[in-house]
């Protein structure tokens, strides 16, 4: 059984980004609700990574003492000319209005409709960061995809759908499962999967006895209790899997920067 750890990939990836940084002049704008603990934990990692690459950034916060119009105006003013990372949810009724102020060339998350459209036209340069991390792992470990049966559990616009587009482009035969998929159908597809992508943010949806010794598991989940799989496979249960932590999530912040470099080069 192969452990698809990113401990080897991350330093190499970081060195590539440092070299590219020499030819890129970009800065970031980080926006969040200051009281949101999970958002601040996420942004701490982002800021540490930006500092390591000597990429400047400005940080700003939603101010509930200000009106909707004031917050949106300040967001637009302070983010001008910068790559924008919006730590969601902001938990205000007008959150979508912030998203509408992010231009396609300011969007390393690749959530803008124009960027999403280019992804579904087949351009894998427009993958959101988690799906881009999956791509990097597949490439580095040379995981066979052509003609393979791939199952994705989760259909979010951030992870599930982009992973579907990725594996479809890599010539896998892809099934996309979700909360309305019947248990018997899910079991049958998982038992026969060559590649299993877990992208629901919930653990316990796949039972240990469903796993196949030929299966490669790409676990995109992360919580205090581990990934979406919810347990560590035993030797011989699967062919390979991404650990949590140290797997898919270890590359996502670097993939955000790689996306930003790509957008700045267009």
Read off the pTM.
Answer: 0.94
Q: Which is it for the CA torsion 33, 38, 41, 46, positive or negative? A: negative
The whole-angstrom separation of Cα 230 and Cα 58 is 37
Query: Between 3.40.50.720, 3.40.30.10, 3.30.1050.10, 1.10.287.40, what CATH number should domain 124-251 receive?
Result: 3.40.50.720
Q: Count Cβ atoms below 10 Å from residue 178 Cβ, excluding itself.
A: 13
Q: Which fold has domain 25-108?
A: Rossmann fold (3.40.50)
- Alpha carbon 242 to chain centroid, angstroms: 14
Query: In the chain, what are the domain boundaries?
Result: 25-108, 124-251
pLDDT of residue 64: 96
Reply yes or no on whether the pLDDT at 205 is more than 70: yes
d(CA 74, CA 251): 31
How many C-beta neighbours within 10 Å does residue 129 have? 25
Average pLDDT over residues 56-66: 97
Query: How far apart, in whole angstroms, are the C-alpha atoms of residue 172 and residue 193?
Result: 11
pLDDT tens per residue, range 223-246: 766 799 999 999 999 999 999 999
Query: Would you state the pLDDT for residue 247?
Result: 95
Give the pLDDT of residue 38.
86
- As a whole number, mean pLDDT of residues 194-210 equals 95
Distance CA 171, CA 167 (A): 6
Does 25-108 match 124-251 in CATH topology? yes
Of 33, 28, 4, whose CA–CA distance to 241 is shortest?
4
Q: How far, in Å, CA of 134 to CA of 263, rounded? A: 20
pLDDT in tens, 243-258: 999 999 999 999 999 9
pLDDT of residue 22: 93
């Amino acid at each position: 059984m192969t452990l698809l750890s990113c401990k080897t990939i991350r330093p190499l990836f970081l060195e590539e980004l440092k070299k590219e940084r020499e030819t890129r002049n970009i800065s970031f704008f980080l926006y969040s609700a200051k009281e949101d603990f999970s958002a601040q934990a996420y942004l701490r990692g982002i800021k540490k990574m930006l500092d390591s690459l000597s990429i400047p950034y400005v940080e700003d916060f939603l101010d509930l003492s200000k009106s909707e119009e004031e917050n949106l105006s300040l967001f637009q003013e302070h983010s001008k000319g910068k790559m924008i990372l919006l730590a969601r949810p902001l938990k205000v009724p007008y959150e979508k209005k912030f998203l509408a102020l992010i231009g396609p060339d300011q969007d390393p998350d690749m959530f803008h409709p124009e960027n999403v459209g280019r992804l579904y036209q087949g351009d894998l340069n427009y993958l959101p960061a988690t799906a881009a991390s999956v791509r990097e792992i597949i490439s580095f470990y040379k995981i066979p995809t052509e003609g393979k049966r791939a199952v994705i559990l989760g259909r979010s616009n951030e992870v599930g759908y982009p992973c579907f587009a990725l594996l479809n482009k890599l010539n896998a035969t892809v099934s996309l499962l979700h909360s309305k998929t019947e248990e018997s159908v899910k079991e049958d597809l998982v038992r026969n999967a060559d590649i299993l992508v877990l992208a629901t943010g919930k653990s316990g949806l796949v039972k240990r006895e469903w796993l196949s010794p030929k299966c490669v598991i790409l676990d995109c989940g992360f919580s205090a209790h581990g990934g979406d799989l919810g347990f560590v496979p035993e030797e011989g249960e699967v062919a390979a899997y991404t650990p949590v932590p140290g797997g898919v999530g270890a590359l996502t912040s670097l993939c955000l920067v790689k996306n930003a470099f790509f957008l700045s080069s267009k």
